[in-house]
A and B are shown apart, each in its own frame.
Chain A
Amino acid sequence: MAEQYVAAVDQGTNSTRCILFDRRGRLVSVAQREHRQLFPKPGWVEHDAAEIWRNVTRVVPAALRQVGAEPGQIVAIGITNQRETSLLWDRATGRPIGNAVVWQDTRTDRLVAELAGDEGLDRFADLCGLPLNTYFSAPRLKWMLDHTPGLRARAERGEVLFGTMETWLIWNFTGGANGGLHVTDVTNASRTMLMNIASLEWDDELLAAFDVPRAVLPEIRPSSGVFATATEVLPGVRIGAALGDQQAALFGQTCFSAGEAKCTYGTGSFLLLHTGQEIVRSKHGMLTTVAYQIGDEPASYALEGSMAVTGSLVQWFRDGLGLIHTAAEIETLARTVDDNGGAYIVPAFSGLFAPHWRSEARGVIAGLTGYITKGHLARAVLEATGFQTLEVVDAMNADSGIALTALKVDGGMTANNLLMQFLADLLDVRVVRPMVTETVSLGAAYAAGLAVGYWPDLEGLRSNWHRAGQWLPNMDPTRRATEYANWQAAVQRTFNWIRPDQ
């Protein structure tokens, strides 16, 4: 019998990938296509959803072609996606209404302040686990409905559909305007601010607060479970899972028990700690989020520390400053010097996320002197990711009461050895990379394969996890303390940059 595979579709911030995995969880083929980043105004970030779907229709066949696989050899599709990015489309024509508004977009900053009013940014945290911030979907959805004439009325009549990217993909995989299925999963829904974190249902109080008609919202499903059978791209293949990229990475790292954690280093970086079936409320700026739900089992939850700008700072260094040609060259440039020379870059491009949650902050380069070269700046770029991780780990440790003893990492930036060593040095723990760096895709594949019985249970998946690389701490404690203090002083200087009267 021909080999069988699970196809993961990872609809990321910069690109869309299709990766095939075999029964041992080994990567068999990869096809990838980047899509355009649209910046119509300062602070605005958009994607063309039609372009993204077109890319899906190209990368999936390309991944099959690489290994000469037939669609019949694909047992399930697992979908994972950039989270919070929001889109509206016309139910009848299937055409997007405007561009998708991306998670990094800050156009809703004023709206968020208005919504917070006197009750503060945490006014909905009890219900949805999240503070008010431009990051999440609900303010964005409200903005879109408010700013397109006649749209809210059409939405109320059921002519308009809302979705994050997994919803858009599933709808298109199942026929689009011709009978497409309008669904989301609990992890993605938990990032909207519209879902009740305990009941896992759309919450009337939240819908009212954001003025969102229920008719636009997709049905919420478990993350792992057969959603539907695809009619497009891979006709006849079942869609077995959908989950947000960070939750997928937690799953792919086989963090199935309370207390297990991972950090994924991509465009942004996200540390997630599995908290079991308990909803843990953070006192230190972590988010409460759904980790996954398998079929009709109870959902698992996680605490999350989100860092908005990590890999995208490297991209800015490449595209914005033009100091390097590829992201990886930053390591070469950074190694031309021994240290940061006293320079610190705090990349508060869209405010600061965890643990600060300061929308009004903007980036700084602190400690700049005539001594600083592009090599020092390259180091500062990489170190920014390290320092942000330390802030998040400190907050997570304070919340959970247990100190992290090792950090499981994945994502594109883990190819950077200088950064991985800096992380180990700064956090003073072992940093461990698993044998699949594309853990986001692996997690989506695992969840989909479980749903169709390709894999029997979670325990079997654990035995696929192997250590591919490891970095051990080796930094003088005094130096660590000084560096961190300098960073914290630099962070202070980003606050209150955007002032209410502007």
Chain B
Amino acid sequence: MPGSVQSIERAAAVLRLLAAAPNGLGVADVGNALGLAKTTVHGILRTLHQVGFVEQDRSGAHYHLSDAFGRLGESYLDPNELRSRAINWADSLAARSGEVVRVGRLDGSKVVIVHHVFRPDDSDQDLDVGTTLPPHATALGKAVLAYDASGAARPKRLEAFTTRTITDPARLAEELATVRSRGWAGEFEEHTIEIAGIAAPIRGLGGLVVGAVGLIGRIERICDSRLRHRADLVTMVRATAEAIARDLRGDS
């Protein structure tokens, strides 16, 4: 069978076996059933466990399908878990850049802020966690919208917040293509006058985008004298997204 990937075939077979065994199976059971070596089966089960498709019982001896496997269409990363994983790196980005840092993820057709770090100037600021942003008008939003293959989050009507908001679907598609090719999204007075932002997607296991991290602040601080997003800040934001992703993938 040219072109097929053996390990995926085997993984599919393991999933079928587990689906048919309500009490779960051990490594040896699976190995015997499929005629595979224990180490091979162990590697497959470990990976399926890592991606959240199978679970282990308390003793660690038996594997069974996870609840999440039955709900594959739903987001696989808990928003509070995303905050826990992002917190160190988001803090570090705020300290380094001197700007407000936020982590967001898609929820329906909105971007929800799941984490917010104050600008490190000790001024009065309120936590924005739980509030929503329009995906097409913000850097955080564009950084996740660009990777939304389902199109479910694509706004039906592109509401204008300022004269710079992108309201033309064709232009938005172009903008999202730019985000994909550069790996980061910019915002320039599209949501709020005098405010600019930079955001980058956070890629979990297998490259799935689970959210975005970005900073936001006054144009004169976020952009250079030619009104382009500062390259040093872009580098910092992308490095932060990569650090969170590395944490999520479990390789440090």
**Interface status of A337 (Cβ within 8 A of chain B):** no
A24-B95, A30-B252, A416-B80 given as contacts; is B116 within 8 A of A469 (CB)? yes
Beta-carbon nearest neighbor of B96 in chain A: A26
Q: Are A28 and B92 in contact, CB atoms less than 8 angstroms apart? A: yes
Q: In whole angstroms, how far apart are the Cα atoms of A173 and B226 in the complex? A: 52
Which of A16-30 touch B at CB < 8 Å?
24-28, 30
Q: Indicate which residue in A322, A329, A437 contacts B80 across the interface (CB closer than 8 Å).
A: A329
| A417 close to B129 (CB less than 8 A) | yes
Decide if A66 is an interface residue (CB 8 Å cutoff). Answer: yes
Q: Which DSSP category, helix, strand, loop or mixed, fits chain A's interface?
A: mixed
The A-contacting residues of B in range 90-144, CB under 8 angstroms, are: 91-92, 94-96, 116-118, 120-122, 125, 127, 129
Question: Are A435 and B117 interface neighbours, CB within 8 A?
Answer: yes
Find the B residue at minimum CB distance from A18: B252
Q: Is the CB of A435 within 8 A of B252?
A: no
Give the complex CA separation of A32 and B117 in angstroms: 23
Using a CB-CB cutoff of 8 Å, which residues 383-442 of chain A contact chain B?
412, 414-417, 435-438
Q: Which residues of A contact B78 (CB under 8 A)?
A: 326, 328-329, 332
Interface segment among B81-89, B145-153, B199-207, B211-219: the answer is B81-89
The minimal Cβ–Cβ distance linking B247 to chain A, given in whole angstroms, is: 8
Interface assignment of A41: CB less than 8 Å from any CB of chain B? no
A-B contact count (CB 8 A): 79
B interface vs A, CB < 8 Å?
58, 78-81, 83-84, 87-89, 91-92, 94-96, 116-118, 120-122, 125, 127, 129, 252
Also in contact, A327 and B84, with CB within 8 A (given A26-B95, A468-B117): yes
Q: How far is the CB of B125 from chain A (nearest CB, A)?
A: 8
What does the 1/0 interface line of A3-40 toward B look like (CB < 8 Å)?
00000000000000000000011111011100000000
* Contacts from A to B (Cβ < 8 Å): 24-28, 30-32, 62, 66, 319, 322, 326-332, 412, 414-417, 435-438, 466-471
- Cα A28 to Cα B88 in complex, Å, equals 10
Docked-complex contact A466 and B252, CB < 8 angstroms: no
Separation of A412 and B84 alpha carbons in the complex (Å): 8
* Residues on A with beta carbons closer than 8 Å to the beta carbon of B116: 469
Asked whether, in the complex, the Cβ of B252 is within 8 Å of the Cβ of A415, the reply is no
Across the interface, which residues of A come within 8 angstroms of B95, CB to CB? 24-27, 435-436, 466
Complex Cα distance, B97 from A435, in Å, reads 12
In the bound complex, CA of A75 to CA of B15 (Å): 51
A-B contact pairs, 14 of them (CB 8 A): A24-B95, A26-B95, A28-B92, A30-B252, A31-B252, A62-B252, A331-B80, A332-B78, A417-B129, A466-B121, A466-B122, A467-B118, A468-B117, A469-B116
Most A-side CB within 10 Å, residue of B89, B121, B252? B252
Is B91 touching A332 in the complex (CB atoms < 8 A)? no
Chain A residues with CB under 8 A of B79: 332
User: A319 — nearest CB in chain B belongs to which residue?
Assistant: B58
A468 touches B88 (CB 8 A): no
Q: Give Cα distance in the complex from A249 to B121, angstroms.
A: 22
Instruction: Give complex CA distance A329, B80 in Å.
Output: 6
Query: 3 shortest A-B CB distances, which residue pairs?
Result: A466-B120, A328-B80, A328-B81
Q: Which chain A positions have C-beta within 8 A of B81?
A: 326, 328-329
Query: B94 is contacted by which of A32, A330, A468, A471 (Cβ under 8 Å)?
Result: A468
CB <8 Å contact, A32 and B252: yes
For B92, the closest partner residue in chain A by CB is A27
CA–CA, A95 to B246, complex, Å?
A: 35
Q: Are B92 and A26 in contact (CB under 8 A)?
A: yes
The answer for the CA separation of A286 and B78 in the assembled complex, in Å, is 38
**For residue A31, which residue of chain B has the nearest CB?**
B252
Complex contacts, A466 vs chain B, CB 8 Å: 95, 118, 120-122
Contact of B117 among A27, A62, A469 (CB under 8 A): A469
Name B120's contact: one of A328, A417, A435, A437 (CB within 8 Å): A435
Return chain B residues, CB-CB under 8 Å to A438.
88
The answer to whether A27 and B91 touch across the interface, beta carbons within 8 angstroms, is yes
With A437-B87, A468-B120 as contacts: A415 and B80 at CB distance below 8 Å: yes
Alpha-carbon separation in the docked complex, A283 to B93 (Å): 44
Q: Which residues in B have their C-beta under 8 angstroms from that of A27?
A: 88-89, 91-92, 95
Least Cβ–Cβ distance between B46 and chain A, in angstroms: 16
| Closest beta carbon of chain B to A96's beta carbon, Å | 25
Which single residue of chain B is at the shortest CB-CB distance from A24?
A: B95
Residues of A within 8 A of B125 (CB): 470
Cross-chain contact A436 with B83 (CB below 8 angstroms): no
Whether B91 lies near A468 (C-beta < 8 A) is: yes
Known contacts A62-B252, A468-B120, A469-B117: A328-B84 contact under CB 8 Å: yes
B91: contacting residue among A24, A319, A417, A436, CB under 8 A: A436
Which residue on A lies nearest to B116, using beta carbons?
A: A469
CB distance from B237 to the nearest CB of A (A): 15
- Pick the contact of A467: B83, B84, B89, B122 (CB < 8 A): B122
What's the minimum C-beta distance from B149 to chain A, rounded to whole angstroms? 25
- CB pair A435–B94 under 8 Å, yes or no, is yes
B239 to chain A, nearest CB (A): 10
